[in-house]
Structure 1
Amino acid sequence: MLPLDEVLAVILGGGRGTRLFPLTQMRAKPAVPIAGQYRLIDIPISNCINSGIYKIAVLTQFNSVSLHRHISGTYHFDTFHPGWVQIWAAEQRADNNDWYQGTADAVRKQLSEIITARTDYVLILSGDHLYRCNYAEMLQFHIDHNADVTVATQPVHKNEANRYGILKRNPEDKITDFKEKPNDPEILKDLRSLEDEEKPYLGSMGIYLFNKDLLVGLLSSLDYSDFGKHLIPYTIDRYDVYGWIFNDYWEDIGTIRAFYETNLQLTEDKPNFNFYDPRYPIYTYNTTMPITTVDNTVIQKALISKGCKIRAARIEHSIVGLRSSIDSGTEIKDTIIMGVDDDVFEKSSTDKKYFNIPLGIGKNCFIEKAIIDKNARIGDNVIIRPFPDDAEFDDPDPIKKYYVRDGIVIIPKNTVIKAGTVIEPASK
């Protein structure tokens, strides 16, 4: 029987999330909504629960209030599960007054908590990946190989090796070399681990399983700040480090482009990732909301969340988040609408007509290739048109109403867009 109760999962909450800005302007990266009603943090926590791992810690630092609220309101184990989901926030102490300086440094600053957990293994996870994984299989591999460290890897296409940290694995599955985003053809030739001509390389997934005592010793004696850049390369030549292969869908959602494309791919007939697998569900906050109402609307390839009121003309290849309101005559295409927080209400007639614009999207709007963050108020006759894929700039207005990243228009959280506003490339 696998000692899953001897595994502590430590989920890294990420830094400032600059590559996901402005979605991270008011929230931590793992708190960014995905697929209409989930948060990114739900993925690793759900994977842990489905794997039988119930001791889970989430390390946070920047804009962490909404993440804390979501975790504390969602993950409660009953008295028959000897586990917990704890939030380990960055804090200043008598012996250290610095914030987290990297992934390894974040774990180092919580070594006292890791020791207190009294487990034999520490599983390091990221809070911004989309995948479904049974970590018990990784633990079995780790034990079978008598490993000190196990790195989760995934086959990488020969044309994409320069995007990943590439690991060389020998026939006994032991890692013998590591290069960060290699470009040199000769180096790449030497890094081939698999016989597959299309996917001959193994890329690091940023998931690591350590023997607890070794991890504590390394972080106590070394000042390395990052796992992927520093600690893993250091251990390869000195310890038994093995590579476990994960042969399923996995996506790093660390950029606006990746976030946008990954979300919209979920609307396809056969999405790369299925949130509806009854054997390995993805858990999230259970909101008490009414059924969504739809009136006189054409919907094609879209995800519609709970509590929405939709009277739009057309919604195509889009995601509509919780409690969204879309008024008549509006067309939505290739767009992510994050909806309204469950604690935000129009409390009076004055609030409802805040700047004469209620929560949601008004009448006769046209919105294409955009991300509308939570609690946005978009007036009637607003037009948002696609920008070139390489377009990137900020609204010149001092009170920034929108941003363009990778050609995608982003309306930040709580933003008010006045009626008749047009957001489109200058050449239009």
Structure 2
Amino acid sequence: MQNTLTVILAGGRGSRLEPLTRDRAKPAVPIGGDYRIIDFVLSNCLNSGMRRLLLLTQYKAQSLDRHIQVAWSNYFCRELGEFIDVVPPQQRIDDNWYQGTADAVYQNIYAIEREQPEYVVILAGDHLYKMNYEPMVEFHRRSGADITVGALRVPRGDANQFGVMQVDEDHRLLEFEEKPENPTPTIDNPDVCLASMGIYVFSTRFLFERLCDDATIPDSSHDFGKNIIPGAIADSNVFAYPFTDENRKSDAYWRDVGTLDAYYEANMDLVNVDPQLNLYDSHWPIRSFRPQLPPAKFVFGSEGRSSRRGVAMDSVICQGAIISGGNVSRSIIGANCRINSYANVEDSILFENVEVGRHSRIRRAIIDKGVCIPPETEIGYDPAMDAARGLTVTDSGLVVIARGELIRSHDPISSLT
């Protein structure tokens, strides 16, 4: 993989994940307690032997930049030609922000050219999956492709959220339509479509030529899925490469956690007895930053009828957390959280440094870092009251509390004993 450069697109706004993306880029959003979304694609790169990475950022990049420096810079040795460089918009070509995925790469064409790669792998930094990219690059080389597109089989009902492809028996692309209203199914199964994963391998010279051509088209969206790939099918070698899952489960795992409900469900899967996403697989480890914190702690046993016990069931509890006489079930509790006596947290996600006061009850909530829940407070039991407090409440009733949100308690909970 020495002749390959990897470009990771990590500059999206992530507006559908607000308020979690109010102060951070989508790839920097915590997931699974110990991780950030970006850690999955970076772990794939490291496990695939790809050690020359450009991470293109744009909106609210400070949190992401800090995470890369703390969690990932030590894995790369620049003296050996390895690096992970965070690249904000340079505006060397014009003074615009990135206009699309292709434009983001085009505006950094000088940084790519300086490395003189034979192949360029382009990845999205906001998807959850495990994949070895090396066989895909080898397939691209052997087939003489100009572009190779990572392909995933998805239910036809979900395919209108993807670029949908038609291929021949040799995996050569015949058609590519970005987010069609009526997706065309595969030949072998009318209920399934072949979708683009947002993973591309380009031969470098071809990439430069197409980016430069696209930049001169006034009405172009400057997007790989809308412009570059459909335009290349007629006169170039464009192939699909079937997704090879390193997750080692019966069903392939790939998730775009682009909405609050999708993000919540991906997290909640991790507390299952046998989660779809395997984080405990030493064969394909997911790396991140681990702060130097003491182990999680559970205090207070049964005290007669008071039920003052520090208990967590079917949950993920991170380092430094203290379950101090509270009860946690089917939840993810981040680092340095504290659940105080008689509090109850269920079906929820707590980021780091959250404190839940005594006798409080939390249900189906996402609580961002540093939030303090006062004693005797209910969250997730009365959507109208939660909305009246100014909290985000989704159509499914999920409550999201933003970082820095000040929560006021209301009348004491009458059902307390």
Question: Do the structures match in fold with TM over 0.5?
Answer: yes
Q: Secondary structure at the match of 1:99?
A: coil
Aligned-pair CA distance for 1:237: 1.6
Aligned-pair CA distance for 1:267: 0.7
Structure 2 counterparts to residues 257-336 of structure 1, below 5 A: 257-295=261-299, 296-336=309-349
Structure 2 counterparts to residues 179-198 of structure 1, below 5 A: 179-184=177-182, 188=184, 191-193=185-187, 195-196=188-189, 198=191
1:175/1:241 contact within 8 Å kept: yes
How high is the sequence identity, in percent, across the aligned residues?
Answer: 37
Aligned-pair CA distance for 1:233: 1.1
Aligned-pair CA distance for 1:144: 2.0
In the alignment, the residues of structure 1 paired with residue 131 and residue 79 of structure 2 have an alpha-carbon distance, to the nearest angstrom, of: 24
Q: Deviations 1:184-211 (Å, cap 9, x if unpaired)?
A: 3xx62xx424x24653x21111111111
> Which of these residues, 38, 63, 70, is aligned with residue 73 of structure 1?
70
Q: Secondary structure at the match of 1:70?
A: helix
Q: Which range moves more in the overlay, 156-165 or 7-16?
A: 156-165
Root mean square deviation, CA, Å: 2.1
Residue 42 (1) aligns with residue 55 (2)? no
Q: Secondary structure at the match of 2:375?
A: coil
In the alignment, the residues of structure 1 paired with residue 275 and residue 382 of structure 2 have an alpha-carbon distance, to the nearest angstrom, of: 25
Residue 210 (1) aligns with residue 230 (2)? no
Gaps of at least 5 residues in structure 2 are 245-251, 300-308
Aligned-pair CA distance for 1:415: 1.9
Aligned-pair CA distance for 1:162: 2.7
Residue 235 (1) aligns with residue 236 (2)? no
CA spacing shift, 1:312–1:255, aligned 2, 3 Å: farther
1:383/1:421 contact within 8 Å kept: no
1:361/1:377 contact within 8 Å kept: yes
Q: Secondary structure at the match of 2:319?
A: coil
Residue 125 (1) aligns with residue 138 (2)? no
> Which of these residues, 391, 405, 417, is aligned with residue 415 of structure 1?
405
Q: Secondary structure at the match of 2:263?
A: helix
1:108/1:220 contact within 8 Å kept: yes
TM-score normalised per structure 2: 0.88
> Which of these residues, 110, 113, 130, is aligned with residue 111 of structure 2?
113
Residue in structure 1 matched with residue 394 of structure 2 by the alignment? 405
In the alignment, the residues of structure 2 paired with residue 79 and residue 60 of structure 1 have an alpha-carbon distance, to the nearest angstrom, of: 21
In the alignment, the residues of structure 2 paired with residue 78 and residue 8 of structure 1 have an alpha-carbon distance, to the nearest angstrom, of: 15
Q: Secondary structure at the match of 1:416?
A: coil
Aligned-pair CA distance for 1:101: 1.4
CA spacing shift, 1:203–1:294, aligned 2, 3 Å: same
Q: Deviations 1:330-353 (Å, cap 9, x if unpaired)?
A: 11111100112xxxxxxxxxxxxx
2:35/2:288 contact within 8 Å kept: yes
2:380/2:398 contact within 8 Å kept: no
Gaps of at least 5 residues in structure 1 are 341-358, 424-428
In the alignment, the residues of structure 2 paired with residue 5 and residue 395 of structure 1 have an alpha-carbon distance, to the nearest angstrom, of: 53
Residue in structure 1 matched with residue 305 of structure 2 by the alignment? none
Q: Deviations 1:254-278 (Å, cap 9, x if unpaired)?
A: 1111100001101111111111211
Residue 384 (1) aligns with residue 379 (2)? yes
Q: Secondary structure at the match of 2:289?
A: coil
1:339/1:360 contact within 8 Å kept: no
Residue in structure 2 matched with residue 370 of structure 1 by the alignment? 365
Residue in structure 1 matched with residue 247 of structure 2 by the alignment? none
Q: Secondary structure at the match of 2:365?
A: strand
Q: Secondary structure at the match of 1:242?
A: strand
Q: Secondary structure at the match of 1:178?
A: strand
Aligned length: 389
Amino acid at match of 1:322: A
In the alignment, the residues of structure 1 paired with residue 87 and residue 98 of structure 2 have an alpha-carbon distance, to the nearest angstrom, of: 12
Amino acid at match of 2:338: S
Residue 177 (1) aligns with residue 182 (2)? no
In the alignment, the residues of structure 2 paired with residue 387 and residue 255 of structure 1 have an alpha-carbon distance, to the nearest angstrom, of: 22
Residue in structure 2 matched with residue 88 of structure 1 by the alignment? 87
Q: Deviations 1:75-96 (Å, cap 9, x if unpaired)?
A: 2224674311110101334x41
Aligned-pair CA distance for 1:301: 1.2
In the alignment, the residues of structure 1 paired with residue 400 and residue 151 of structure 2 have an alpha-carbon distance, to the nearest angstrom, of: 33
1:33/1:338 contact within 8 Å kept: yes
In the alignment, the residues of structure 2 paired with residue 289 and residue 79 of structure 1 have an alpha-carbon distance, to the nearest angstrom, of: 30
Aligned-pair CA distance for 1:253: 1.1
Amino acid at match of 1:129: H
> Which of these residues, 234, 251, 254, is aligned with residue 250 of structure 1?
254
1:383/1:422 contact within 8 Å kept: no
CA spacing shift, 1:275–1:243, aligned 2, 3 Å: same
1:312/1:331 contact within 8 Å kept: no
Aligned-pair CA distance for 1:313: 3.1
Q: Which range moves more in the overlay, 122-131 or 289-298?
A: 289-298
In the alignment, the residues of structure 1 paired with residue 3 and residue 375 of structure 2 have an alpha-carbon distance, to the nearest angstrom, of: 56
In the alignment, the residues of structure 2 paired with residue 143 and residue 409 of structure 1 have an alpha-carbon distance, to the nearest angstrom, of: 48
Aligned-pair CA distance for 1:416: 2.2
Amino acid at match of 2:161: R
2:167/2:174 contact within 8 Å kept: yes
Aligned-pair CA distance for 1:217: 1.2
> Which of these residues, 54, 57, 61, is aligned with residue 57 of structure 1?
54
In the alignment, the residues of structure 2 paired with residue 222 and residue 120 of structure 1 have an alpha-carbon distance, to the nearest angstrom, of: 21
In the alignment, the residues of structure 1 paired with residue 349 and residue 326 of structure 2 have an alpha-carbon distance, to the nearest angstrom, of: 17
Amino acid at match of 1:105: D
